Amino acid sequence: MNTSVENKPINSRCDLDLSHSMEFYEKYAGAIYGMIIRAVEDEIIAENILVKVFKNAFVDRNIETPKLNSEFTCISNHARKKSKETVRAIKIFKACNEGRECLPIPKQGMPV
């Protein structure tokens, strides 16, 4: 049996249906925002990340995912990744402003 799921590469773009992007946003934005705000602990930053996540998903169509993930899993994984990157960047920025070394913080030191 040869289906499109079987032929989908292991890491491919999310197949997000643009026709229901607003419905999807209204249904899941709260959950995605909750995940983001717990990670970054700043409302303005969390709102900006949320906008970027949905823009990446439905406008740029630029989110990669392992095969067989649902749209929600695809977007929540992307939100988690963006949140971690932001937290890491904020830590580096704060270290530089405090006069400490401005070397990148190792990724393994990031909280989950």
Q: What is the pLDDT of residues 51-75, one digit of tens each?
A: 998 888 777 676 766 666 787 888 8
Does 5 reside within a domain? no
Q: Which two tokens stand for residue 24?
A: 């999807």
Q: Would you state the pLDDT for residue 24?
A: 85
Does 60 reside within a domain? yes
Q: Would you state the pLDDT for residue 1?
A: 40
Q: Would you state the pLDDT for residue 106?
A: 59
Does 87 reside within a domain? yes
Q: Return d(Cα 88, Cα 108) in angstroms, integer.
A: 11
CATH number reported for the structural domain that contains residue 103 in this entry: 1.10.1740.10
How many domains, the chain?
1
Taking only the tens place, the pLDDT of each residue in 3-42 is 444 433 444 566 666 677 888 889 999 999 999 999 999 9
| Domain that includes residue 101, residue range | 18-109
Q: Would you state the pLDDT for residue 46?
A: 95
Does 4 reside within a domain? no
Q: Would you state the pLDDT for residue 7?
A: 39
Residue with tokens 């717990």: 38
Q: Tell me the residue length of the chain.
A: 112
Does 29 reside within a domain? yes
